[in-house]
Amino acid sequence: MSKKVFDQIAEGLNEALAVARGESEPYKLHVPAEIDVKAIRARTGLTQKDFASTFGFGVDQLKQWEQGRSRPVQAMRAYLLLINREPEKLLQALREINLSAHEPPVRRSAC
């Protein structure tokens, strides 16, 4: 594990402990009730089909959101905001997750 990753994990644990002890308030994420899904997709340069398959949405659901016939739930809006903010970093993270999911399990020999 790299030092940077370890430091990030340690920082998160320290924050969780501070919240548990009542020394700090938990962070609350503000997710806007309305977001422009079509503009977010357009910013990526992807078609509806490609955007949906790349980021794990259904094409029909994406069309509903873009046409204003339905609204993404809060978790989906947060995900869409991440896509809007850092699409390349998010794509890289998704690729890495996908690759690690297809790696064979590590076998440990019995001692």
- Burial of 82 per CB tally in 10 Å (0-12, 13-18, 19+): middle
The distance from CA 32 to its chain's CA centroid, rounded to whole angstroms, is 16
For residue 10, give the amino acid letter: A
Contact call for residues 66 and 38 (beta carbons, < 8 A): yes
Task: Give CATH for domain 31-91.
Answer: 1.10.260.40
What's the pLDDT score for residue 95?
A: 87
Q: How many residues does the chain have?
A: 111
Contact call for residues 51 and 91 (beta carbons, < 8 A): no
pTM over cut 0.75: no
pLDDT per position as a tens digit, 30-86: 888 899 999 999 999 999 999 999 999 999 999 999 999 999 999 999 999 999 999
Q: How confident is the model at residue 107 (pLDDT cuts 50, 70, 90)?
A: low
